[in-house]
A and B are shown apart, each in its own frame.
Chain A
Amino acid sequence: MTRDIWKHMILILGAIIVLAPFYMMLSYSFKSPGEIDRGVGGFFGAQEMMVDPRCVKLRDPNRDEVAAAAPQYPGKSDSEIRAAIMAQAEIDCSMRPVVFNYSKAFIEAPLLRYLLNGVIVTASIFFIQVLVALPAAYALAKLKFWGREAVFGLVLFCLLIPVHAIALPLYIMLAKVGLTNTYAALVVPWTISVFGIFLMRQFFMTVPDDLIDAARMDGMTEFAIVWRVMLPTAIPALLAFAIFSIVAHWNDYFWPRIVVTGSRDLFTPPLGLREFKGDADGSFFGPMMATATIIVTPLIVAFLVAQRRFIEGITLSGMK
């Protein structure tokens, strides 16, 4: 029992180091700029009302607006009216730090657009990967044809090439055909997953031939067999592959950084966060941490809900 306590102490120390940045990220996303600067306020911060200086500045009335407001303030001078309007603005512009941080995250940058782009890109990549890999895997696993060994050898060879490593020539080729700064550029290099082919082929090898022969007897074409017989049997493997693929591409920063320049409309979440950081002065730590939290949360929550599947999916590459 005492030995177990030692184990727990070591593991808890590790857990503290592992969790520290997550804790800080959440905590910063709750606090006001002052609290972040001074390093006070515990986890949630005091949540005292704070005034958003930019919001107030935007409502600073010009001469016409002061004149227009004059009837509401009878008998006051212009400067008094302006002071009254500003006082009202300060009231309207004050909010809790947590509200400030999270609303700024969405207002200062088109975060929703980034998230949407992230979903579009990861989903397209996964669907095209399946569309391409599944038929090939079926052919390699279950059909006899001349050259099959050569094709499989090619798959094994291509497993050696990490796509990130050949990013530069891919970028040049895409630039030559004028595809940089498009959704296509974000998706195309990932449409072929040699790993997916390999994985699904290994899985299909275990599917009994009787099942396929029975389908052929029923007059199904090979093409129909892929989608109506093999696909349903492969759901568990596909799910694991989906997690593998989605996690990799939601988090990917290197490739989008290369092919998307300038146009915010195409930014994926990590790119958006990066740009936010570039713009930010010190007072924007809070909103930036709120953005980071929003980007990291979907996968973390999904992971916590379906841990076993996630670990299976991510460690897929460990299967032989």
Chain B
Amino acid sequence: MAAIDASAAARAPREVNRQARTAWGLATPALALMFLILLVPVVVAGVLSFTNYSLGNSGFDWVGFKNYDRLFSRSTYEKMFIATFTYVAVVVPVSVALGLGAALLVNSLGRIGDVYKTIYFLPVMATLLAMAIVWEFMLHPTIGVINQTLELSCGTFLEVIPFLGNGCADGFPLWLGDRDYAIWVLCFIGIWQGFGFNMVLYLAGLTAVHRELYHAAEMDGAKSAWERFRLVTWPALGPTTVFVVTISCIRAFQVFDTVEAFWPQGGGPNKSTYVMMFAIFEKGVQQNLIGIGSAITMLFLVFVMFLTLIQRWLVERKVHY
């Protein structure tokens, strides 16, 4: 910084002026697009959420808080919140924990561990929509490979397990068509897709943990692997964890591809998987109920911004060890 200041001070004021103008020239396209594509839509959504606007209508009426009121009183939207929060509350902790576990195991194995790293990262790269369709086939109640595999256990000692025993007697779950299973299957696929990403972030975090810290901990009497993890690894991974949790939350809130692929009509059996992004799509785009769609959008933005702000606050405040 000092170098910039010194060289700037040495320059004539006119030169500084010229540089300022160039700088604004260079930044203007980005600024203009930022306003037009990111800020204006937020304002538009905010305004429209107080109206009953529809595309194709020339005018609209102000309806005050009616859209928001509806969000908090109708049972459809109650199901939307339940589905969204269930998904986030399951996928985030499990995929973070699995990511951390996988990272620790892979890291301790050295070079052979890289094979697992590659494999676990594959779902992150693959087109989620395509993989969702594959999962749908695998979960097919009759010809799907999952139920076919479960049926193999029928007639063997495995039937003592209640789940398998009941399945053999009354048929195995319909999975995607079953309101008791649908949301959990959705969560499972979310975890399947996302934990490799968390693993890689944790692996990057682990490389930054100093070896000396482990030696020091051992000197202080931390003998077991668990003690070393609790005293050294976990605190050192603090910043990574904050980041991993935040980004997992934001990604989980945005779940859409799998829901749309499995249940193109209306968010699953008994609306048990009617997540917010799907609701925005269905209400706002398909049914042209822009007011209500905008209200969901605003709520969604509040959640996401809130999460990110918490993350920034945590990062600035405490997680530096």
Contact = CB atoms under 8 A, between A and B. Distances in A.
B108 interface: yes
Contacts of A151: 27, 31
B26 A223 contact: yes
B256 A143 contact: no
B257 A145 contact: no
Interface string A114-140: 000000000000000001110110111
Interface size class of A (residues with CB under 8 A): 35 or more
Interface string A201-234: 0000000010001000000011100100000000
B150 interface: no
**Interface residue SS majority, chain B:** helix
B48 A172 contact: yes
Nearest to B110: A4
Interface stretch (A43-51, A60-68, A161-169): A161-169
Nearest to B15: A216
Contacts of B175: none
A14 B120 contact: yes
Contact of B26 (A135, A269, A278, A303): A135
B83 interface: no
Given A11-B105, A15-B116, A162 B125 contact: no
B184 interface: no
Interface stretch (A71-79, A88-96, A248-256): A248-256
B82 interface: no
Nearest to A288: B133
A54 interface: no
B254 interface: yes
Contact of A19 (B26, B119, B124, B243): B119
A295 B127 contact: yes
B19 A144 contact: yes
**Interface residue SS majority, chain A:** helix
A315 B204 contact: yes
Contacts of B44: 169, 172-173
A209 B7 contact: yes
B24 A145 contact: yes
A164 B119 CA distance: 28
A250 B201 CA distance: 22
Interface in B75-91: none
Given A154-B34, A166-B41, A296-B126, 12 more contacts: A14-B116, A14-B120, A17-B192, A18-B196, A28-B137, A132-B29, A142-B4, A158-B39, A160-B308, A168-B293, A253-B129, A292-B127
**Top 3 A-B residue pairs of the complex, sorted by shortest distance between their CB atoms:** A136-B30, A169-B41, A135-B26
14 contacts: A7-B108, A7-B109, A11-B116, A17-B192, A24-B138, A161-B301, A164-B277, A192-B30, A251-B127, A253-B127, A300-B122, A300-B125, A300-B126, A311-B121
